[in-house]
Amino acid sequence: MSRKAGRHNKNTRRPGDHFYNAARDQGYAARSIFKLQEIQNKYGIFPAKSGRITPFYVLDLGCSPGSWMQFASNLLTEKDRIIGIDIAKININDPKVIFIQESVFNMDPAALLEHTGNRKFDLVLSDMAPKTSGIKLQDQQRSLDLCLEALNIASRVLRKNGSMLVKIFQGPDTATYFDDLKKLFKNVKRIKPESSRKESFEMYILATEFLSSDGDIQS
């Protein structure tokens, strides 16, 4: 890869890419929006706005530049909240969004609940990706470290029956991570969205029906 190409953020800048152009034309901060849109269309991870009494809380780990928050915000009501965490800034002005500029490795998960009035999250998203080095095994390991931290946080702040969507760079330990999720969630599935670049070794894992700490499933 040339040095010039290497400077592009894979998610936000690749002029000529269909999804990049579509995201820009529709006012979204990144092409990643289309992956979440596909997953929402197929699996309905955000609830319908109508007929809902309790607010819906989303934790978005690795939220910058913010296309997932923009997409989520359109699906949510004024009572709902999206708490976004990233080491990079965002430029989103939305009353439903609370942004914390921090690395997930420095977060106290319990402190996140201060933003929700101590109510646990309904959905934890992690689209986190490490800065890629081009060394496959190293990039896979860094992605796994982010996924493990996302799971650590989710297991502390997710409500019973809540869901988690996490991006992982597929590698030797993906199956073990998948098994870890299966111990904590009733349903776990692999997803490779159409809008994910074919050459990319990323995939998403959707885990639903988070089990309680005592192993019960809330009915």
Ligand X SMILES: C[S@@+](CC[C@H](N)C(=O)[O-])C[C@H]1O[C@@H](n2cnc3c(N)ncnc32)[C@H](O)[C@@H]1O
The yes or no reply on residue 196 touching ligand X (CB under 6 A) is: no
Q: Which of 105, 103, 147, 95 is nearest to 125 (CA)?
A: 147
Binding mask 70-89 for ligand X (x = CB under 6 A): ---------------xxxx-
SS3 of residue 18 by DSSP:
helix
Tell me the C-alpha distance between 86 and 101, whole Å.
5
Name residues whose C-beta falls within 8 Å of residue 118's C-beta, 6 or more positions apart in sequence: none
Q: Which of 19, 20, 23, 30 binds ligand X (CB under 6 A)?
A: 30
Name residues whose C-beta falls within 8 Å of residue 23's C-beta, 6 or more positions apart in sequence: 29, 30, 31, 32, 33, 34, 67
Nearer to ligand X, 104 or 184 (CB): 104
Name residues whose C-beta falls within 8 Å of residue 114's C-beta, 6 or more positions apart in sequence: none
Q: Which of 19, 20, 23, 32 binds ligand X (CB under 6 A)?
A: 32
Nearer to ligand X, 143 or 174 (CB): 143
Catalytic residue among 10, 167, 182, 186: 167
Nearer to ligand X, 56 or 71 (CB): 71
| H or E stretch covering 58 | strand 57-61
The yes or no reply on residue 129 touching ligand X (CB under 6 A) is: yes
The residue number with the shortest CB distance to ligand X is 62
The yes or no reply on residue 105 touching ligand X (CB under 6 A) is: yes
Q: How far is the CB of 211 from ligand X (least distance, A)?
A: 26
Tell me the C-alpha distance between 127 and 147, whole Å.
9
Instruction: Establish whether 183 is a catalytic residue.
Output: no
Tell me the C-alpha distance between 146 and 78, whole Å.
30
Nearer to ligand X, 128 or 168 (CB): 128
Binding mask 132-151 for ligand X (x = CB under 6 A): --------------x-----
Residues contributing to the site for ligand X (CB under 6 A)? 11, 29-30, 32-33, 62-68, 85-88, 103-105, 127-130, 146
Q: Which residues are designated catalytic?
A: 167
